[in-house]
């Protein structure tokens, strides 16, 4: 589903005042709205469960935290307890309007795109440079 088509789905979910979570694929990522603690937790997957277990990808993603500050984004990284995906998430006090939820999800989607772009650059640069070899800048005894 395209992001623009998601507005009608969110409006319907808000009107129904359903306690059930709303899951939907937007631009190749799972977006989720969950009513919790008197508000709505908005989240969007960044890394699937397989990639979220890869220490290199997680470390690279955590090192890109500055992207959130640079783009003035509100999302925090977290692990979804149900799906085990690394997600960007934000909480809005309830009940929340469909427009506010759309704005928040759009911000999370933009933040996700920036972080994934930086992640790909990081992984590509890491693969080119390789693990490298440490240097001591001193003579070492031979074998």
Q: Between 3.30.300.30, 3.40.1160.10, 3.30.1460.10, 1.10.40.30, what CATH number should domain 3-121 receive?
A: 3.30.1460.10
pLDDT tens digits, one per residue of 93-120: 876 788 999 999 888 988 888 888 888 8
Question: pTM above the 0.75 mark?
Answer: yes
| Cα–Cα distance for residue pair 136/124, rounded to 1 Å | 27
Q: Tell me the β-bridge partners of 68.
A: none
Ranges of the chain with pLDDT below 70: 1-4, 64-73, 95, 128-143
| Cα–Cα distance for residue pair 17/35, rounded to 1 Å | 9
Closest CA to 32 of 17, 47, 43: 43
């Amino acid at each position: 589903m395209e992001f623009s088509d998601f507005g009608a789905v969110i409006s319907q979910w808000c009107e129904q005042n359903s306690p059930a979570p709303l899951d939907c694929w937007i631009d190749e990522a799972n977006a989720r709205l969950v009513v919790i603690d008197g508000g709505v937790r908005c989240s969007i997957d960044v890394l699937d469960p397989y990639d979220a277990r890869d220490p290199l990808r997680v470390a690279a993603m955590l090192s890109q935290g500055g992207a959130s500050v640079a783009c003035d984004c509100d999302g925090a990284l977290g692990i979804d307890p149900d799906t085990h995906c690394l997600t960007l998430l934000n909480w809005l006090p309830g009940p929340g309007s469909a427009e506010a939820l759309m704005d928040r999800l759009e911000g999370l989607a933009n933040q996700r795109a920036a972080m994934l772009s930086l992640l790909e650059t990081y992984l590509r640069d890491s693969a080119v440079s390789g693990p490298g070899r440490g240097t001591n800048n001193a003579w070492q005894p031979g074998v």
